[in-house]
Homo-oligomer: A and B are copies of this chain.
Amino acid sequence: MTNTVGQSTTARANANIAFIKYWGNIDDALRLPANPSISMNLDGLFTQTTVTWREDLAADQLTLNGQSAEAQALRRVSTHLDALRQRLAISGYAAVESANNFPTGAGIASSAAAFAALTIAAAAAAGLTLSERELTTLARLGSGSASRSVPSGFVEWYSGATHEQSFAESIASPDHWDIVDVVAIVSHAHKTTGSSEGHQSANSSDYQTARVAGASDRLVVCKRALLERDFATFAEIVEHDSNMMHAVMMTSRPPLFYWQPATLGVMEHVRQWRADGLRVCYTLDAGPNVHCICVRGDMEQVREGLKQLSDVQDVLVANPGGPAQII
């Protein structure tokens, strides 16, 4: 027994935005991704989670943003806790309190931050000290992209044929490159099709094979541009990779349309602004909100431009963020 029963541990993990996207698994149960991906942690857009392992509970408990969670959310958390109990030999049930400081389910990867924070808090509350690499693989079991919210700054998540091989690690610290994510919120609504379900539909698109086949090449281009701070190359490959993923979504059976009319409008403006000389590009996760990645010197113009669009309800700004950590 490794438990430190009754001890509460709180962890905080940032959301992340992928520059080369994860979509579809080679193993849905283990969430082994069909392709490697690259992301940036989003400083200040975080989930904070407190875990207490208790021998006196008959089941896991989950509080989300101060309210008792719905059955579906509890089931997913409990399934992840089952995996942790099994792999880490933890006994008992957990009381989990979790809160996001950003809108849930709208293209900001809330499940990434949530499962990164949950994994780290759960392991620490059990008195375990695990390597960052192991924590990334465990977080991945809850939500694939959660693996990328564990290390610091700019992160690569490797595809791999086994649980141990599919881990994430930092490829550059937050201060490596002064770019920011200006998020255009066009909808606060929760998406109709969640990412887990979406990943399972990826292979129903005739385009997924080609998307996966080209992903490693796109990742090499993106990683080099990122390491060399070459924004023009970076912008082109990031938008292309986002388009590639959404094209797979729209050609799945049934199709998944995460873009809303306002989404497409923001994308058009971003392309036009870049053509006009601003260093900005867009990328979208499985949701309608548009992540406008820009060089800090052009941030104010991008933010002002977005605020003037009638369909943009809100604008968030996030710097490159640090690692998930116990607080």
Interface, chain A (partner B; CB < 8 A) = 206-207, 209-211, 213-214, 239-240, 243-244, 246-248, 250-251, 253, 255, 257, 259-265, 267-268, 311
Contacts and interface: CB of A to CB of B under 8 A. Distances in A.
Contacts of A209: 210
Given A206-B244, A257-B268, 12 more contacts: A206-B210, A206-B213, A207-B207, A239-B255, A240-B253, A243-B251, A246-B250, A247-B248, A260-B264, A260-B268, A261-B262, A261-B265
Given A210-B207, A211-B206, A251 B247 contact: yes
Copies of this chain, complex-wide, total 2
A265 B263 CA distance: 11
A207 B247 contact: yes
Contacts of A247: 207, 247-248, 250-251
A259 B260 CA distance: 12
A194 to B, nearest CB: 19
A286 to B, nearest CB: 16
A141 to B, nearest CB: 30
A251 B253 CA distance: 19
A209 B250 CA distance: 17
Contacts of A263: 264
Contacts of A246: 250
A264 B288 CA distance: 12
5 contacts: A206-B210, A207-B207, A243-B251, A247-B250, A259-B264
Contacts of A244: 206-207, 251
A243 B267 CA distance: 18
A261 B259 CA distance: 9
Contact of A255 (B207, B243, B259): B243
